[in-house]
């Protein structure tokens, strides 16, 4: 006895649109069951996870703050994933962008340096992320090394580099030996979009990145080149698209956007460098990219949903004493449900039993 997946001959668009909704409901039911097993009320948990953050203005702002790096990184990853390159190292590119951008903030700290500091920091952040992303791309095109391994391993290199810097050369001398840099000058701080808001200009960059990407992927030859490389690499070669250039380009774009997210977060949110500048945005963004089906608008929605689980998870930890790991488990369940829903839309499942007719 086994299950067999047979492709459906025609897929209804309604079904395809409803699939993520069904996936969300299923994921919530599974999570609710787990919470019930842990002896808490699933209803109260749903309240804390979903209802409260969406009905509170502070929490709504926080939602945008958390969704910003996720969306920026995920939109960059969409370039890689569409072309079938597996950049798993966005977390490292995020960190390296933050490090290079912060270098300028720290160098100009306490000087009269003016308005140019912030744009230059953002540019350096993108350069840092892009350069770091180009390492796995170079290793792949030059030596054929799997980008999955190299990009992932480089994450640890980046994290340890940051750790070394904030404990060593970049540590604030007046910081009571805490491993953190000085607080950035106002000239090196990404301002809020509105007075007294937590939402900084990074959110605007994320929206711009999404809009530009929607045009690039949908309407330009470059976007087609990525899809063709991902779907039929020999046809891409036959079309005259060099695989080497494509690889370099997508890793540079993806690394650059991750780096921008990194410097945006440090300069707009944290205000200084410290050993940990990300709750795993670079890895969660992989989930976001696939939840959004590598589609820019989908990624926007997915980033908001996943940000919600972050915020809900934090409140659940405080109010219901639920472990933070549950949030990560929930993100995993959500991704599996969405992938399963997609598969069920495209394929019909049949239970096959042996022995009939023989």
Q: Which residues bind other proteins (CB under 8 A)?
A: 6-9, 219-224, 227-228, 231-232, 234-235, 237-240, 242, 352, 354-355, 357-358
The least CB distance from residue 358 to other proteins, in Å, is 4
DSSP string, 12-77: -HHHHHHHHHHHHHHHHHHHHHHHHHTTS-HHHHHIIIIIHHHT-HHHHHHHHHHHHHHHHHHHHH
Q: Which is nearer to other proteins, 182 or 236 (CB)?
A: 236
Q: Which is nearer to other proteins, 37 or 351 (CB)?
A: 351
Q: Which is nearer to other proteins, 81 or 184 (CB)?
A: 81
Q: Which is nearer to other proteins, 42 or 223 (CB)?
A: 223
Q: Which is nearer to other proteins, 321 or 354 (CB)?
A: 354
The least CB distance from residue 356 to other proteins, in Å, is 10
The least CB distance from residue 354 to other proteins, in Å, is 6
The least CB distance from residue 233 to other proteins, in Å, is 8
The least CB distance from residue 113 to other proteins, in Å, is 37
Token digits of residue 135: 């390492």
Q: Which is nearer to other proteins, 2 or 321 (CB)?
A: 2
Q: Which is nearer to other proteins, 11 or 324 (CB)?
A: 11
C-alpha 150/C-alpha 314 separation (Å) is 32
Sign of CA dihedral 99, 201, 71, 331: positive
Q: Which is nearer to other proteins, 16 or 40 (CB)?
A: 16
What residues contact residue 331 under an 8 Å CB cut-off, 6+ apart?
Answer: 284, 287, 306, 309
Q: How many alpha carbons lie under 13 Å from residue 324 in its C-beta half-sphere?
A: 6
C-beta of residue 65 within 8 angstroms of C-beta of residue 199: yes
C-beta of residue 71 within 8 angstroms of C-beta of residue 237: no
The least CB distance from residue 234 to other proteins, in Å, is 5
C-beta of residue 76 within 8 angstroms of C-beta of residue 88: no
The least CB distance from residue 212 to other proteins, in Å, is 13
Residue whose structure tokens are 């929930």: 330
The least CB distance from residue 129 to other proteins, in Å, is 24
The least CB distance from residue 196 to other proteins, in Å, is 42
φ, ψ dihedrals at 99, nearest 5°: -65, -50
CA angle 223, 331, 131 (to 5 degrees): 45
C-alpha 214/C-alpha 211 separation (Å) is 5
Q: Which is nearer to other proteins, 315 or 346 (CB)?
A: 346
The least CB distance from residue 81 to other proteins, in Å, is 15
Q: Which is nearer to other proteins, 14 or 352 (CB)?
A: 352
**Residues 342/93/163/191 CA torsion (nearest 10 deg):** -100
Token digits of residue 326: 């549950």
Residues 26-35: contacts with CB under 8 Å, at least 24 apart: 26/337, 26/341, 27/330, 27/333, 27/334, 27/337, 30/333, 30/337, 31/326, 31/329, 31/330, 31/333, 34/326, 34/329, 35/322, 35/326
φ, ψ dihedrals at 345, nearest 5°: -70, -40
């Amino acid at each position: 006895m086994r299950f067999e997946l047979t492709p459906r001959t025609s897929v209804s668009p309604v079904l395809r649109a409803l699939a993520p909704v069904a996936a969300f409901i299923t994921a919530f039911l599974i999570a609710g069951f787990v919470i019930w097993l842990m002896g808490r009320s699933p209803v109260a948990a749903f309240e804390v996870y979903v209802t409260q953050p969406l009905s509170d203005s502070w929490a709504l702002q926080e939602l945008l703050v958390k969704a910003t790096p996720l969306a920026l990184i995920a939109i960059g990853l969409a370039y890689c994933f569409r072309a079938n390159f597996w950049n798993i190292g966005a977390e490292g590119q995020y960190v390296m962008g933050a490090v290079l951008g912060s270098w300028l903030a720290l160098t100009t700290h306490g000087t009269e340096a003016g308005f140019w500091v912030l744009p230059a920091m953002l540019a350096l952040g993108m350069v840092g992320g892009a350069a770091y992303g180009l390492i796995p791309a170079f290793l792949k095109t030059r030596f054929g090394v799997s980008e999955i391994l190299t990009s992932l391993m480089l994450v640890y290199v980046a994290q340890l580099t940051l750790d070394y810097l904030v404990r060593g050369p970049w540590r604030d001398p007046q910081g009571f030996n805490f491993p953190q840099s000085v607080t950035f000058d106002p000239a090196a701080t990404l301002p809020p979009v509105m007075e007294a808001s937590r939402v900084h200009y990074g959110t605007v960059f994320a929206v711009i990145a999404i809009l530009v990407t929607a045009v690039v992927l949908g309407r330009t030859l470059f976007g087609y080149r990525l899809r063709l490389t991902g779907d039929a690499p020999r046809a891409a070669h036959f079309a005259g698209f060099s695989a080497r250039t494509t690889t370099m380009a997508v890793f540079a774009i993806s690394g650059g956007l991750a780096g921008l997210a990194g410097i945006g977060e440090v300069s707009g949110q944290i205000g200084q460098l410290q050993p940990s500048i990300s709750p795993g945005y670079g890895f969660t963004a992989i989930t976001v990219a696939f939840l959004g089906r590598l589609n820019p608008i989908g990624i926007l929605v997915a980033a908001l949903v996943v940000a919600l689980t972050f915020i809900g998870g934090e409140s659940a930890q405080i109010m219901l004493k639920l472990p933070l790991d549950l949030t990560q488990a929930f993100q995993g369940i959500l991704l599996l449900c969405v992938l399963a829903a997609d598969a069920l839309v495209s394929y019909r499942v049949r239970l096959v039993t042996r022995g009939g007719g023989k």
